[in-house]
Amino acid sequence: MTDITGTLQDVSGEPANGTISVRAVAPRTGDNPTEIVTEAWRDFHITAGAFAMTGLDPGPAEVRIRTWRWRQTWKIEIPDSATPVTLWPLVDAGVPAPSPNSGFVRSNEITHQTVLTQSQYAALPTPDPSTLYIITESA
């Protein structure tokens, strides 16, 4: 069984209060082959921004967050983990990347990529350490 934890706040750092819910996306067998996991929602409280969804059966699931000012639902894959996991990496893994030419890169360190010629790269005052620079012969 897996525990998923995290914190929720708005862009100004204000912690949220509300409900986070989880359910299986379809009926399936559980961690124990004699169990049936249903599509019933299970609610957990978000208090002062903190939440913990405990004792979750690994597999495909849907997570819904509801606060006074915001609500969102995502499909995730609950991993089989003996230690708690955080929610955002599970959400991020299930969200499609933006269009191919957006410069988006899914990484903890690289946040953007751009194509430059060698002379354009040399002209940069200070290259951004979180940008992947792809050097080509011509623009």
With a pLDDT cut of 90, the percent of the chain lying above it is 44
Evaluate the CA torsion angle 128, 133, 138, 139 in order and state its sign: negative
Three-class secondary structure assignment of 30-79: CCCCCCEECCCCEEEEEECCEEEEEEECCEEEEEEEEECCCEEEEEEEEC
Rounded CA separation 26/134 (Å): 43
Tell me which amino acid residue 96 is: P
pLDDT of res. 113: 77
Pairing assessment for the beta strands 50-56 and 2-7 based on DSSP bridges: antiparallel
With a pLDDT cut of 70, the percent of the chain lying above it is 88
Give the CATH number of the domain where residue 53 resides. 2.60.40
**pTM, full prediction:** 0.68
Look up the domain containing 126 and give its range: 100-136
Residues 66, 127 within the same domain = no
pLDDT band at 101 (very low <50, low <70, confident <90, very high): low
Backbone angles phi, psi at 79, to 5 degrees: -75, 165
- Token pair listed for 27: 């009926």
For 34-85, write each residue's pLDDT tens digit.
Answer: 888 889 999 999 999 999 999 999 989 999 999 988 999 999 999 989 999 9
Residues 77, 124 within the same domain = no
With a cut of 90, say whether residue 112 has pLDDT above it.
no
Structural domains in the chain (count): 2
